[in-house]
Each structure stands twice: as structure tokens, then as C-alpha cells.
Copies of this chain bind each other. A is one copy, B any other.
Amino acid sequence: MARGRRPGHQDTRESVLTAAREVFADKGYDGASVRAIAAAAGVDPSLIHHYFGTKEQLFLAAMQAPINPAELIPRILTGDREHMGERLVRTLLHVWDSPAGGAAAAMVRSAVTNDMMARMLREFVVKRLIRRVLADVVSDPAEAATRGTLVASQIAGLIMIRYLIRVEPLASAPPEEIVAMVAPTIQRYLVGDLTA
């Protein structure tokens, strides 16, 4: 690449992120390709890989995601299967009780009122993150999808009541109290008998 002919690194980064937001909004997470984003930004796809890594990492950067799921998922999967629900709830509360929680709340708020953000949340968080956890513990993919949405339902509601609407006493309860109360629900949704 000829120096002086291209914008600076910072400008390139910004134009890729802008293009990414547009293409993700237009095509959804699944439908957007790094190639299409590169074309929209007028750069080579290899440049995107160089700056951002995978499509997932590009997506997280474009959404200004406060949390990197790649760091969190191993915390849930590492350890015995009997305490997976417990680790999931503990990790969730740890992130949301941290300063990153405020930015995460803003993302969820906009997903509830904005179709584009809802689609992103649906495709990315539910399909990718939760199913990635489930792929490790459930063999039947159809069952994994059902279990994934059940886990998502309890997590979404916990976030809504504790962090968004802030209803007491759940809003101020110590994390470990919530872990004890909610983990059995998550554990059953993950690996338990769903019809009992």
C-alpha cells in the first residue's frame, strides 16, 4: 500500500467500523460478510482481519460492546457440569455489577425498542453465545436451541428486574444470594429434565 495515498490508521479503523455498523444493520449478523464490509469501507478484507481479527471481534468493536464473550465463556465451561448454572449466574452478575454493566444496559435498552438492535441481540447473543455454551453440554442441536432460549429468558429477566427496572430486593441483593436462588433454574434449563 502506497503511503500517503491512504488515510491514517485511525481513519481507516473508523471507516471500517462505520461500514460494519451499516452492513450489520442492513444484513444482520449472519448475513453480513467481512468481504461486504470491506467493500463498503473501500478497503481490502485482509486489512479488516489485520485490525480486528474475526467477524465476531469486528462486530463487538462496531457495537462498542463492553464485554468480550471470548473471555467469559471459558469461565463458565471450565469446571464440573453440576455447577455450570452457578458459574453462569456468577459470571453474569460479576460483569453486570462492574462498570461495564452500564454500557451493557444501554445496549439492551435499545434492543427492546429498536428492531435492528433486537435482531443483533437475537442473532449474536442468543444464537452464538448461549448456543456455544450449550454445544458443549447438549448433543441434540434442536434441544440446545430450546434450552438456549430458556436460559436466555431467565437471564434477560434477571437483568431487566435487577439492572434496568431495578426492583427491590433483587436490585440490591448480594450476588451470592442471587446465585443460590437462580442457579438451579439455569442448571435445569442447561442440562436438567425439562418436562419434570
Q: Which residues of A contact B (CB under 8 A)?
A: 108-109, 111-113, 118, 121-122, 126, 142, 145-146, 149-150, 152-158, 160-162, 164-170, 173, 180-182, 184-185, 188-189, 194-196
Contacts and interface: CB of A to CB of B under 8 A. Distances in A.
Contacts of A153: 154, 157-158, 160-162, 170, 182
Nearest to A157: B157
A124 to B, nearest CB: 11
B113 A165 contact: no
Nearest to A112: B112
A130 B156 CA distance: 19
A173 to B, nearest CB: 7
A166 B122 contact: yes
Given A153-B160, A160-B157, A194 B166 contact: no
B157 A152 contact: yes
Given A157-B157, A160-B157, A149 B167 contact: yes
17 contacts: A108-B112, A112-B164, A122-B167, A142-B169, A145-B168, A146-B170, A149-B169, A153-B161, A153-B170, A154-B154, A154-B157, A156-B156, A156-B161, A157-B157, A160-B160, A180-B195, A184-B188
A181 B111 contact: no
Contact of A161 (B149, B164, B170): B149
B181 A169 contact: no
A152 B194 CA distance: 20
B181 A112 contact: no
Q: Which 6 A-B pairs have the closest CB atoms?
A: A157-B157, A149-B170, A153-B157, A156-B157, A112-B112, A153-B161
